[in-house]
Amino acid sequence: MMGPAHSLSGAAAWLGVGAATTAAGEPMPWPVLLVGALICAGAALAPDLDHKAATISRSFGPVSKRLCEIVDKLSYAVYKATRKPGDPRRSGGHRTLTHTWLWAVLIGGGASVLAITGGRWAVLAILFVHMVLAIEGLLWRATRGAGSDVLVWLLAATSSWILADILDQPGHGAAWLFTSPGQEYLWLGLPIVLGALVHDIGDALTVSGCPILWPIPVGRKRWYPLGPPKAMRFRAGSWVELKVLMPAFMVLGGVGCAAALNVI
């Protein structure tokens, strides 16, 4: 799928989690619902760090472009080193390492560790990165054009500072889910894991499928392209994505948000 659909699906997924926790009698504080949805929307773009033409590659200027090149080469090297006889030969690393459940868990776990060990500045850095990606994905029409990058970064930095201040207030979510001393913001890794997995599931619906299960082998393949029957798949950017899935994600997100806030 394309960036906007990935971001919408990520936000909708976290709002759905919020609805589920409310239904279970443990509602999220509203700042956790808001911040988690934005982080998840941003994290749903991150697996495409292996593609130089993806939204994330241009979100942070030369830094993200260079990082995309490095991740692409790393992913390709891992693919070559771990492929089985049934896996096809390929010339790049797109939709390999960064599109797996293991990558999602490692990135989310790393963010959680960074959040609880790095203090406020680490939390702000995690928020800033994902706010930039969320703005690029959700407001993609407004962020196109010369000079928009600096405005996006300023908006992301400002919103990250404000949201961190809100979360730090008693009962507003810094210690949500993990309540022991020193575990504040440990939950930040959860929307990151969810966003990456939602991205992978979205890509699995497209023609090429997605090797979500790696490194678990399936038959003669270790990089098995998981997905529905081919007749049910679609091309990225097709009318199915634009006219069906994106509106569906908006509706599901709205319903999830309303249920999470006990509006319905």
Going by the DSSP 8-state scheme, the letter that residue 218 receives in this structure is B
Which residues, including other chains, have CB under 8 Å from residue 74's CB and lie 6 or more apart? 93, 97
Domain boundaries, the chain: 3-261
3-state SS string for 94-155: CCCHHHCHHHHHHHHHHHHHHHHHCHHHHHHHHHHHHHHHHHHHHCCCCCCCCCHHHHHHHH
Residues in the chain, pLDDT under 70: 141-147
pLDDT, position 187: 95
pLDDT, position 158: 96
pLDDT, position 145: 58
Compute the distance between CA of residue 49 and CA of residue 25 in angstroms, rounded to an integer: 37
pLDDT, position 144: 64
Both tokens of 62, joined, read 């030369």
pLDDT, position 11: 97
**Neighbour tally for 202: CB within 10 Å:** 23
Compute the distance between CA of residue 44 and CA of residue 116 in angstroms, rounded to an integer: 22
pLDDT, position 53: 83
